[in-house]
Chains A and B, each alone.
Chain A
Amino acid sequence: MSIDYVAMAPVLAAALGALAVLVVDLVAPLRLRTTATFGTALAGAGAALAAALAIRGEPRSTFCTPPTVLPGRLEVGESCSYVVDGTTLHLLAALSAAAVAALLLAVAAARGGGLPPGEYGFLLLSSLAGALTLAGARDFITLLVGLETLTLPTYALVALRRRDPVGAEAAVKYLLVSVTSTAVTLLGVALVYGLVGSLHFDRVGVALAERADVRALPLTSAAIVLVLAGFAFKIAAVPFHWWAPDVYQGAPVPVAAYLATVSKAGGIIGLLLVTTVAFGPSSPVWSAALAVLAVASMTWGNLVALRQRHAVRLLAWSSVAHAGYLLVPLASVGGRPELQRDAVTATVGYLMLYLALTVGAFACVAAAGVTAVADFRGLARRSPLVGGALAVFLLGLAGLPPALAGLVAKVVVLRSALLAGAGWLAVAVAVNTVIGLAYYLRLAATAVADRPDADRADGIAAAGGAGAAGPASRLRLAPSLAVAVGGALVVVLVLSVAPQLALDAAR
C-alpha cells in the first residue's frame, strides 16, 4: 500500500512543526526563546495552510482497503480512510488559519511570562494535526484518532497557566467531559460495526441504504444517537454544553479562542461527515435529534449569554448559541436526502464565516487585555482600531452589518431551513437573532459608546497607587496582536464583499 504524501502534506506539516517547536525550545538561547519558538510554530501552521491552499486537482485518497463483501452479501468497492477533496481542502485551510491566529494571540502573553512558549506551540500544533486528520477522515477509527489527537493537547493547554486553580479546575472538568463523550461515541461506533460490519463511512452508508432491515432496527437509531451525543459534547450543544463556559473562562484567552474555533469546527466537521456520509440514509433519525439540539442550544445559549458580565464567558455562551445555528441546516434535512448537499454547503459556509468572526472577536478581547465587560468601557478611545474592530466582529456574530459576513451566514441558515419547509426552525433562528443582538450589543456598546468614566478612573488610580494608567490613555498594542486583529478584519471584509468564497468551500 502506497501513501499519498501530497494528501497528507498539511497534517505532516503540522506534526513536524510540533516536533520542531520542541527542538527549538530546547536549543534556542533563553533571550530568543519566545521569538524562535513562536516563529517555528507559526511556520508549521503556516506550512499547513500553504499546503492546503497549494493542493489542486482531483480528490486524493490514501490508506485504502480493497473491495470486499459485507454481511448481508453486500459487495462494496475500494474504500479509503483519508480523502482530500475540495471541501476538505477549504476546511484544512480554515483550521490552519485559525491556528495561526491562536498562535499570534499568545505571543504577547508568552513575552509577559503568562504562557510557556515551547509547550504552547507544541500542544497547539499537535492539536492542529489532529484537527487536520479529522477533516480528511473517512472511517470511524481515523475520525476518532483525529478527534482525540485534537482534544488531548487541549486539556494541557487549558491548564497551561501554572499555579492557577481556576485553570486546573477547568482542565479537569474538560478532561472528564471529553473522556465521557469519547466513550459514548465509541460505544455508538462499536454498535455500528456490529450492525453493518464496516467502519468506513461510505460502506456504512451503502449498508444502511441497501439493508432496510438494519435501518429499521431500534439499535441502529440508538447507535446513531450515541455517536451524535459524543460530538454534541465536543461542539458544546445544549444539553451537553455545561463544561464550555467554565473551561473557556478558566483557560488563557488564546486557548479559549482555539477551543471556540478549531476545536468546535472539528466537532462540526465530524458531525457533517458522520451524518451525511455514513448515516445519510437514516437522515430522519439524526435530523430530528439535531433539531432538538439546535433549538435548545441557540435558545439557552443566547438567554444565558444575556446575563454574562465576563467577556470570555459571554463569548463561550455565544459559541453555544452558534453551535445551535450551525446544526440548523442538518436538522432541517428531515427525510429528504436531496437536501443533504445544500445542508453541507450551508453548514460549511456558516462555519467559515463564524470562524473568521470568532477569531476576530477573541483577538480583540486578547488585545484589550481585560475580561470583565465593564472594563471594556472606553476601549474605542484607547484604541480606535481594536474598539472598532470588536464592534464589527460582535455585530457580525449577531448577524448585522457592517460586516456582511455574519448577515449572509444567517441568511444561508434561514434559507436552508425554509427551503426544507422547516418554518419553525427558521422562526427559532429569527427570534434568537434578536435575543443575541442584545448581549453582543452590550459588549460592543460598552467598548465603543461608553465614555471612560472619570470617577471610576480616579477610583482605580487611588486603589492602584501612583502610575496606574487611566482608561483614557492609549492602548499599547503588541505587533502580533495588531496583526491578528488586522488580519481577521481583512478576512471578514473580504468575505463580506465576496461571501461566495465561504459558500464555495463545500463545492
Chain B
Amino acid sequence: MIVALLLVPLVGAVALGALALRPSTADGPVPRWTAVAVAALTFALAVALLPGSRAPAAGRVVDPRHEVDVSWIPAIDVRFHVGVDGTSLPLVVLTALLTLLCTISTVRKVPAPGRAASFNALVLLLEVGLLGTFVALDLVLFFVAFEIVLAPMYFLIAVWGDAAGARHAAVKFILYTLLGSVLVVIGILTVYASAGTFDVVELSERGGAGIAHGTQVLAFAALFAGFAVKSPLWPVHTWLPDAHTEAPTVGSVLLAGALLKMGTYGLVRVALPVLPEGARALAPLLGALAVAGIVVGALCCLVQTDAKRLIAYSSVGHMGFVLLGIATLTPTGVNAALLGNVAHGLITGLLFFLVGGLKDRYGTADLRTLGSGLAERLPRLGALFVLASVASLGLPGLAGFWGEALALQAAFRPGGGQSRALYAVLLAVAAAGTAITAAYFLRLLRALVLGPDVPTGDRRVGGAVDVRPVELAAWAPLAVLTLAVGLYPRLVLGLTEAPVGALLGVFS
C-alpha cells in the first residue's frame, strides 16, 4: 500500500518526463490531466491509509501500520522500511492533498515559460520525496527522501519563478537546505556509529539506551541544526522569504504546506525519541530560538510591502509555535506541533494560492500597487482572503488557533525535567508574538481587502475575473478543512494523541 503510494507519483513523474522529451506532448492538456489523475490516485491511496490507524500496542513506543520492511543496501545496513502511524498520517494526507490541488491549479495555467510536462514531473517527484520522508522508518531512507525534494524545488523556483531574482533565490534555497541535510546525515551516521542500526522503530524502542550522553548531545545538535534550517528556525530562516517571493504559486504552496514540515516532523520522528538525553540538554535552546522566531517573524511582517513576502515571514512565526511545542517535550506540546503543522499547511497553502491568484490577475503582489478594496472588486476572492487571514492569526474556531493555544499551554508545564521559569518567560514572549501576528494580519486585511475600492498605484487593472471554477476547485478544500479542523480539532488530534503519548513516554 505504502509502496504504491510512493510508486504512483514516481511512475507519474517518469511518464511526464518522457512526455517532456517530445515537443508535441510537452505542453497542452495531456500532461496537465495526467498529473491531476496521478495526484488524485495518490491522494486516494493516502486517504485509504487512514482507517488502518490505531493506538500503539501496549508497551510499544512506535507501532506503525502498513509496514514494509525489506533489505535494500545490506552492505551498509540500510533497509527499505516504511510505515505510517498517527504522527505521520496527517502529513501524508496533507501532502497528497496539496499536491492534488496544485496539479488542479495548473490545469488552467502553468506559469511562464509553460512546459506543463516538465513542471508537473517535478511536482510529482517532489511529492515522492515528501511522502517518502513522512513514511520512512529507516534513517538512511529518511535522508534519501529528505534529499529528493531539493532538486525539484530548485528547478521549480529557478525555471518557473519570477524573472530576475528567481535563480538567486533558488540557489540560496538549495545551498542552505543542503547544508541542513549534510548536518542531518552526520547526525544519523553518528547515531549509527554507536547504536549499530538505522531502524527508527528499533532505535525509538531503545530510547537512547546504549548511546553515551555526550554522543547523544552531539548527534542531537547535528540533527537539530539540520532540521532547523528546513523548518526554518530563526536565525537560519533567511532563505525562506526569498524562495517564497520568487517561487511560482505551486512552489510556494508546496514549500509552505509540506516542505517546511519535514524539519519539524524529523524532530518528532527521529531526534526526540532516538536521542532523548540530547533533547533534554538542547530543548531550552530550541525553545528560545523558536520564540525568537515568533517575534522576529511577526515584526518583519509589520514592515513588508509584498504580500508573498509577508506570508513567508508569517510562516517563520507559525513554525516558531510548532517548534516551541516540540521544545516543551510534552505530549500536549508535540500534539500541538503536529496539529500546528497541518493547520499551517492548510492555511498558508490557501494564502499562497490566493496571493498567486492576485498576482495572476494584476501581475504583482505589491500591496502598494494592489491598493485596497479587494472585497468590493472581487468579493469571493476577498472573502476567502479574509477567512485565510483570520485563520492564520489564530482566531478560535479556525484551524490556526489550536496549535498555538496548545503549544502555549504546554509551555506552561514543560516535560523532560525542563525549568518551568524559563518556559514561563518563553510563554510570555510567545504570547506577545501572537498579538503582533494579529496586528500585521489586520493591517494586511485593511490595506488589501477592506476599505474603498480606490486605485493607489499606476498598474491598476480593471475588470479582473473573480474566483474561477478551476481556482475554486483548488482552493475550496483548503478553506473547508480550515474550518473543519478549527471546529473539530480531534480530526487531527484523534490520530496523533495515542502515538505521541507512546513516543514521549521516555520523557515522563
Residue ranges of A at the interface with B (Cβ–Cβ < 8 Å): 345, 349, 384-385, 388, 391, 395, 400-402, 404, 407-408, 410-412, 414-415, 418-419, 421, 423, 426-427, 430-431, 433-434, 437-438, 441, 445, 448-449, 451, 499-500, 503-504, 507
Contact = CB atoms under 8 A, between A and B. Distances in A.
B75 to A, nearest CB: 4
Nearest to B143: A411
Interface string B133-152: 00000001001100110110
A440 B140 CA distance: 24
Contacts of B182: 430-431, 433-434
Interface stretch (B171-179, B200-208, B468-476, B489-497): B171-179
A415 B72 CA distance: 16
A411 B186 contact: no
B154 A441 contact: yes
B125 interface: yes
A418 B193 contact: yes
Contacts of A438: 171, 175
Nearest to A349: B75
Given A407-B147, A433-B182, A448 B159 contact: yes
Contacts of B190: 418, 423
* Nearest 6 pairs of A and B residues by beta carbon: A503-B75, A430-B182, A418-B189, A401-B148, A449-B159, A449-B158
Contacts of B455: none
Nearest to A451: B113
Query: Is chain A's interface secondary structure helix, strand, loop, or mixed overall?
Result: helix
A312 B169 CA distance: 27
B151 A503 contact: no
B73 interface: yes
B159 A415 contact: no
Interface string B170-199: 110011001100110110011011000000
Contact of A503 (B73, B143, B154): B73
5 contacts: A400-B151, A418-B186, A449-B167, A503-B76, A507-B75
A499 B140 CA distance: 13
A29 to B, nearest CB: 38
B284 interface: no
B174 A441 contact: yes
A400 B17 CA distance: 18
Contacts of A434: 175, 178-179, 182
Contacts of B357: none
A410 B192 CA distance: 15
B2 interface: no
B73 A499 contact: yes
A400 B143 CA distance: 11
A278 B276 CA distance: 45
A412 B76 contact: yes
Contacts of A407: 144, 147
Q: Which of B147, B159, B175 has its CB near the most chain A CB atoms (within 10 A)?
A: B147
Contacts of B174: 437, 441
A401 B154 CA distance: 12
A408 B73 contact: yes
B175 A426 contact: no
Contacts of B256: none
B186 A395 contact: no
Interface in B99-124: 113
A411 B146 CA distance: 13
B394 interface: no
Nearest to A448: B155
Nearest to A406: B147
A349 B183 CA distance: 23
A433 B178 CA distance: 8
B155 A449 contact: yes
B20 to A, nearest CB: 6
B422 interface: no
Contacts of B21: 384-385, 388
B74 interface: yes
Contacts of B155: 445, 448-449
A398 to B, nearest CB: 8
Nearest to B176: A434
Q: Which of A430, A503, A507 has its CB near the most chain B CB atoms (within 10 A)?
A: A430
Contacts of A415: 76, 189, 192
B266 interface: no
A400 B178 contact: yes
Contacts of A391: 151
A431 B190 CA distance: 16
A441 B171 contact: yes
A267 B186 CA distance: 29
B416 interface: no
Contacts of B415: none
Nearest to B148: A401
B192 A437 contact: no
B129 interface: yes
Contacts of B154: 441, 445
B175 to A, nearest CB: 6
B73 A437 contact: no
A402 B72 CA distance: 17
Contacts of A419: 189, 192-193
B178 A437 contact: yes
A408 B74 CA distance: 12
A449 B158 CA distance: 7
Contacts of A499: 73
Contact of A411 (B125, B140, B167): B140
B159 to A, nearest CB: 4
Contacts of B113: 451
Q: Which of A384, A401, A419 has its CB near the most chain B CB atoms (within 10 A)?
A: A401
A159 B113 CA distance: 44
B382 to A, nearest CB: 36
A401 B147 contact: yes
A393 B72 CA distance: 22
Contacts of A410: 185
